[in-house]
Each structure stands twice: as structure tokens, then as C-alpha cells.
Amino acid sequence: AAKAPSAWGRLESKLGRTGARITGAAVVLALVAIGALATKPARDAAWLRNETLPEIDRLIEATHFDSAMRLVARARERMPKDSVLEERLWDVAFAQVLRKESQEYEVSWRKLEGDEAWHPAVRSADSLWFPRLPAVVRIRREGFRERIVFPFVLRAAADLEPTNAPHPEMDRVFGGEARPIMPGLGEVPAVAVGDYLLDRFEVTNAEFKLFVDAGGYADAKYWTEPIIGPGRISLSFPEAAALMVDRTGRPGPATWEGGSHASGADELPVGGVSWYEAMAYARFAEKELPTLYHWTRAAGTPQMDRIVTRANFGADRPQRGADSKAMSPYGTFDMAGNMREWVANSFGSQRFILGGGYTDQTYAFVDAYAQAPIDRSPINGIRLMKRFPTDSTPRTAWAPIARQLRDYRLERPVNDEVYRGMIGLYAFDRVPLDVRVESVDSSSADYTMERITIATPYGRERMPIYVYIPRRARLPLQAVVFYPGSGAFYQTTREEITSNSLDAIVNSGRMVVWPVYASQYEREHTLDSDSPRETANYRDHVAMWVKDARRTVDYLQTRADVDTARIAYFGFSFGGRMAPIILALEPRLKAAVLTVAGLKMERPRPESDPLNYLPRVQIPVLMLNGEFDHYFPLESSQRPFHSLLGTPASQKRHVVFKGGHSVPRTLLITESLQWLDTHLGTVSK
């Protein structure tokens, strides 16, 4: 084969073809150029390694993801194909692809708090990049209405409305599978809703006065539902009209006087209206009350921690929508706080009224609250939606909804006699473990990972267990048994060990043990719902999960490298919710860390109910929770859990931070390791 020409040969050939004369000066210049070309990759690599990556990592450690993203973007311009920079970009930012050519839009972002400046999105070939921090995105295009939304709805929101489109007071919410994410609604089935428009702000006094002045309270065509008054008595229209009056006895909301609102209150949201008045006004406005599905899809209850801190809660008066900073994902305001908002669905004889009002506390945003439809409290308000003519949302979206709520302040665990009868469900025969080492991964510099399987004490199943063994620790090792969140039931592969900061536990010199519990990850899925249910299937799964945890401890006792007197439990979300049963029944667990755990509103059978096991837990327990957790609200879920624990007060701790359903990594590591050091002992390396 012909030898490839050298750089000098290529230069000589080129000069020869052009007839140029190779002089001494040309040779020097050529050599300098060749040297520069030969060392540029090395210089770039050194610049990246010695200057840029350390600064990026410093910014990440300080959670300055916006500055880190901009630095990564500049570095990628210089080194566009570097794999390390690609990894760092995913560490500090996330990508979105618009439905249409992104060049048609001006897309920028700003922080949700603090910095009010807008920054252009970082663009790559087919994506727009935004920093991993609470932010909003602004989309602009000439001839269309501007949209400001949360980043995760950007792709859909990029279909902007023309400036001359009707209903400029409303924002489009894009359809799809809607599932109300609120405590007590875990068993409500999802419904596929179509696109719809939703009022950007709550209905104002001025808007409602148009209805009053038009004689809306006297026009029966707006009042089509049977009206049930106090005491559940059916009312005629004249009888109902006599109740729908203001403070002076004139038709209008309960907060008005003389048939009108207070002077200067035109732009404040209307309050003091019943569900029937809200329905009548909706017909007058040629709109409708949203269903619970439409309301929760737009409200963004899973984003509670980013919304309620800016909302009008715990106040003595409402505020103008234009003054609000409590924006939900699609650009609507005050769905959290300010006024409670009626929705179409019923719960028994009541109607849902959602979001909480200005006198409520922040947890009301995710409270599936319902009250008598005749109620005219001052914080009862209205927000309306409008569907498109082609809407195909099924009628089931308007059907009555069964809410399950429990007041754990009033409930009492079963007595000891009943308890002793229940726990037989969790007994099992000590069949041989039949331990098999399936694989060993030594690729990490910090730990070795073993995948082993053992026989379960039920059926013919084998349970995988992933064991992370630190490289730098003195034997025997303390062990921490992990139980993941409910995502484990819907994923086929496990998360990385960095999830829930398990890597920090390994790096502290402790073994992390991650069993694959029944119906999780690669094991056969036989669970129809991870919400508590009064079914035999759910009860049987709880029994399997407890047996899996206890069987894991059985296995650890066979290992010579484990200090079997120092085994702890680490539960995240679902794993924290299941912890009371496991901790009460497995005496070999000596301490526990529970992150974002609490009590659910749905009721299982007594033998599967964590409530009945909480007082039987005696070991030290640390709880780490967010104040604005939409799954486990602080007052109704977290605090009862902590209060009911049988652990002595000096050995249980509840740390509440201003966040949602996750724990900041630094807080989790600091609190968890300190707890393990205190109750298992410090680790020597």
C-alpha cells in the first residue's frame, strides 16, 4: 500500500502545483504552522483539564448551574466533540426540542427567584438548552402572542397563538393524559383530555359585575342544576335566589354590598360565590368550570415547591392577578392561593374547590378539598376554561370522584392482641438462601459491585441483590439496606448509585445493599397499583416486600465482611412509607434514615397499614422532608408519621427544609452520615 504523504510532503506538493518557490522563509513559516497545528489539540486538552473543568465543577458544587451551563457552552464552541464536555452539559442543563424550527422563535429564560434578567437559550443543532434550576422560559415570535411557561412544557407551548386569536385573557393548555396528583386521589384513573384554554387569572369583580348588571341572578337559563340548600334541602329557583345575595340583601356575591363590590376592587378576584353561582356565571361568559383533571393538569401540583412560596397564602386579603408571582407551568397565575377555585366534579353531595385561598396554609394547594356547593365563603372564587369545538375529552372527566382522606390525628393503631394476630402474615420458613454470585463489577475506583441472587421464601422466585462494597474501609463493614421509591415499579433498570446520594454512604466506608423487591425493576411485575388498596393482591405484595427485606438481612448475616450488629435501613419515598412495617418486624435493623416519607391517604387492610406498625418501631429514626411535598403534606402526613413512631423522642428527628418531594444532596449527605455515625458508630478507613 502507498504510504500516506507527510505534512511536509503535502505542503511541498501543494506549493509545487501552484508553481510557488520554496524559500527558506517559507520553510520556516511552514514548520511553524505545522507545529501549531500539531499542538492545538494538546493545548485545548490542557486548557480544558487545567482551567475549564475545575471551574465548571466549582460552579456545579456551588449549584450555579446557569453560570456552569454558559461556561460549558463556550467550551463546546472550542471543543465541540469532547465527550467530557458533553457529560458536563447534561449535568448542568437539559434539552428541549421545539415542534417547529427553533430559528423562528426568540427563546430566553430567567430564574424563578432573584435575577429578573432574561438570558438567551443555549442552542445546539436541534435543541435548546436550559440550566437545571427553577426557571421560566419566554417564547416570542412576530405576529404571535408571547408565552411564558415552565421549561418542561416548552415543546407544546411553542405552538403560539396568533395575536388576533380570540380570548387573549386565556392561555392554551396542551392536552394529554391527565391524572390528578393530590393526596387521596391516588386511585383516580387517568383521563386523556384535549387542548383547552384556561383563564390566566381568576375571575375579577369587574367581570362578575357584568353578569350581575345583566340580570344574571334573575335569569333561569343560567341556573340549570338542581340547587341543594343547607341541610341538603332541594330549593326552587326563587328560594335559591333569596340565598344568593350580598351583605345588603341584593343579588350578588356574599362579599359585596349594595349590589356591587368595594370601590377600587375591580381587578381583585371575586369571592363569596357558591358552586351554583360559578356555574351560572360560566354559562353567561360562554365558558365552563374546569374538571378536576383540567384544573390539576394546568396547576402543576408536582411543582408545588416552585409555586407556593410565591403564592398568596396565610394573608388577610386577596391580591390582583396582575401582581401575582405564583405562576403555574402553562402561564396561569394564582392557582395556588389567593382564592379557592370551584371545579365541575362532585364528591358525594359536595363539590371540589381547589388550590387553597388567601387565608389557607400552603399545603392547601394539593388538598383535594370539597365542600357543600351552596357554600359562599369569602375565599370561594372562579377560574374558567374553554374547550375547542373538536374536543374529544371523554365524559368520564366530569364524573363524580371518590376521594380517600384520613385524619391521622384521630385514628388509633390496633391494640396488642389484634397486632399479634396480624403479624403472622409476615412469617416464613427459613428455606436455604442458595446464594449465587451472578457478576462482579470492579470498574469503579471507589467500590466493587456484586450482583448476587438468593431464593425467596415464597414461590420459586429468586431475588437479585446489588451489593456495593467500599474499597477503602476497615472490615467488618456496617451495612445499609436500601428501599427505593415507587418508580422502581415502573422502570426495568435501576437508577445509578448516585441517586439518593447512596454513593456518599459507600464513600463513608459503609456497604450499601440494594435488594430488588417483588414487582420492581427486572423482577416480574404483578402489582396493579403502588397505592394502598384493600385488596388481597396489595396485601400479598406488602408481605413479599417485608419478607424480601428480612431475607436480605438473613443474607448479610452469612457474609464475613459485614458487622451484623450494625445494619441500618435507608428508605426513599415509597421505601420510607413501607418502613414502619419492616422496622417493626425486623429487629436486626438498628437505625433508619427515611427521606421524603409519610403516610398515604388511601386505606389498605389493617395488616398492611403502616399506621398499625409505627408505635412498634423502637430504633432511632431520621426523617428528611420537604415543607411543600405534594405526595406527603407536612401537617396531614409527615408530622403524624413522626409523632406516631414508638421511638423515644430523643432518638427520632424530623428535618424539614423548604423544598418538595426530594432532599438537597448536601443536606441528605450531612444529616444521613451524622445519623449513621451517631447510631451505628463512626467508620475507620
Q: Grid coordinates standing for 93?
A: 442543563
pLDDT for the residue 309? 87
Asked whether 31 and 25 are in contact (CB, 8 A), the reply is no
Residue among 619, 652, 654, 618 nearest 634 (CA): 654
What lies within 8 Å, CB to CB, of 118 at 6+ separation is 108, 109, 110, 138
CA dihedral 60, 61, 67, 73 (to 10 degrees): -30
**Amino acid 41: pLDDT:** 80
C-alpha 675, offset from chain centre: 26
Q: What is the mean pLDDT of residues 232-252?
A: 93
- Render pLDDT for 643-671 as a digit per residue (tens, 0 to 9): 999 999 999 999 999 888 888 889 999 99
Rounded CA-CA distance 318/310 in Å is 14
Q: How do beta strands 128-131 and 122-123 pair? A: antiparallel
* CB neighbour class for 93 (10 Å; exposed up to 12, middle 13-18, buried from 19): buried
Average pLDDT over residues 313-333: 94
| φ and ψ of 577, to 5 deg | -65, -35
Q: How does strand 128-131 pair with strand 170-173? A: unpaired
Categorize the per-residue pLDDT at 66 as very low, low, confident or very high, splitting at 50, 70 and 90.
confident
CA nearest neighbour of 197 among 389, 421, 438: 389
**The predicted structure's pLDDT at residue 25:** 54
- Choice between 130 and 341, residue whose per-residue pLDDT is larger: 341
Structure confidence at residue 15 (pLDDT): 39
Residue 7 pLDDT > 50: no
Write out the three cell numbers for 313.
397564602
| Average pLDDT of the chain to the nearest whole number | 90
Give residues with Cβ within 8 angstroms of 622, minimum separation 6.
Answer: 591, 592, 593, 594, 652, 653, 655, 671, 672, 675
| CA 15 centroid distance within chain | 64
For the stretch 286-312, pLDDT in tens is 999 999 999 999 999 988 888 988 999
pLDDT at 631: 86
HSE-CB at 220 with a 13 A cutoff on CA atoms is 5
Comparing 472 with 41, which gets the higher pLDDT? 472
Helix (H) or strand (E) holding 106, with range, is strand 106-111
DSSP state for residue 161 in the 8-state scheme: P
SS3 of 573, please? coil
Tell me: pLDDT of 640 over 90.
Answer: yes
The residue assigned the cell 450531612 is 670
Q: What is the pLDDT of residue 525?
A: 85
Q: Which three cell numbers stand for residue 26?
A: 517559507
**What confidence tier does 9 reach under pLDDT thresholds 50, 70, 90?**
very low
Chain mean position to CA 500: 14
Pairing state between β 589-595 and 196-199: unpaired
Closest CA to 380 of 252, 273, 230: 273
Residues 390-395: what's their mean pLDDT?
A: 96
CA distances from 87 to 90, 92, 115, 386, 425 (A): 5, 9, 27, 43, 48
Q: What is the pLDDT of residues 171-230, one digit of tens each?
A: 999 999 999 989 889 889 999 999 999 999 999 999 999 999 999 999 999 999 999 988
- Alpha-helical (H) ranges within 536-631 are 536-556, 574-577, 579-585
Whether the predicted pLDDT of 600 surpasses 70: yes
The pLDDT value given to residue 103:
64
Average pLDDT in the 524-549 region? 92
Among 9-13, 101-105, 291-295, the least confident range: 9-13
- pLDDT recorded at residue 78: 86
DSSP bridge pairs for 140? 106
**In three state form, how does the secondary structure of 342-404 look?**
EEEEEECCEEEEECCCCCCCHHHHHCCCEECCCCCCCCEECCCEEECCCCCCCHHHHCCCCCC
Residue 22, pLDDT > 70, answer no
The sign of the dihedral angle between the CA atoms of 535, 538, 544, 546 is: negative
User: b/e string for 371-398 if b means 16 or more Cβ within 10 A?
Assistant: bbbbbbbbbbbbbbbbbeeeeebeeebb
Which helix (DSSP H) or strand (DSSP E) does residue 10 occupy?
Answer: helix 7-18
Average of per-residue pLDDT across 407-433? 94
pLDDT at 487: 86
- For residue 431, pLDDT over 50 is answered with yes
d(CA 47, CA 80): 14
Q: Return the pLDDT at 100.
A: 58
Which DSSP helix (H) or strand (E) runs through 11?
A: helix 7-18
Compare 157 and 212 and report the one with higher pLDDT.
212
Task: List, edge to edge, every strand of the sheet that includes 122-123.
Answer: 93-96, 128-131, 122-123
Dihedrals phi, psi of 207, to nearest 5 degrees: -65, -40
pLDDT for residue 12? 41
CA pair distance 148, 131, nearest whole angstrom: 16
pLDDT band per the 50, 70, 90 thresholds, residue 157: low
Length of the chain: 685
Q: How confident is the model at residue 448 (pLDDT cuts 50, 70, 90)?
A: very high
pLDDT of amino acid 339: 97
| CA 273 – CA 243 distance, rounded (Å) | 11
Q: Which residues of 410-449 are buried (b: 16+ CB within 10 A; e: fewer)?
A: eeebbeeeebeebbebbeeeeeebeeeeeeeeeeeeebeb
pLDDT confidence of residue 563: 97
621: β partners: 592, 652
Q: Let me know: does 270 contact 382? Beta carbons within 8 Å.
A: yes
Spatial neighbors of 289 by CB under 8 A, at least 6 apart, are 278, 279, 282, 342, 343, 344, 382, 384, 385
Q: Assess contact for 397 and 193: CB atoms under 8 A.
A: yes
Pairing of strands 652-657, 621-626: parallel
pLDDT (tens digit per residue) in 26-54:
554 554 454 554 577 888 888 888 889 99
Report residue 259 as a C-alpha cell: 349590589
Q: Which residues pair with 136 in a beta bridge?
A: 110
Over residues 312-319, the mean pLDDT reads 92
Percentage of the chain lying above the pLDDT 70 cut: 93
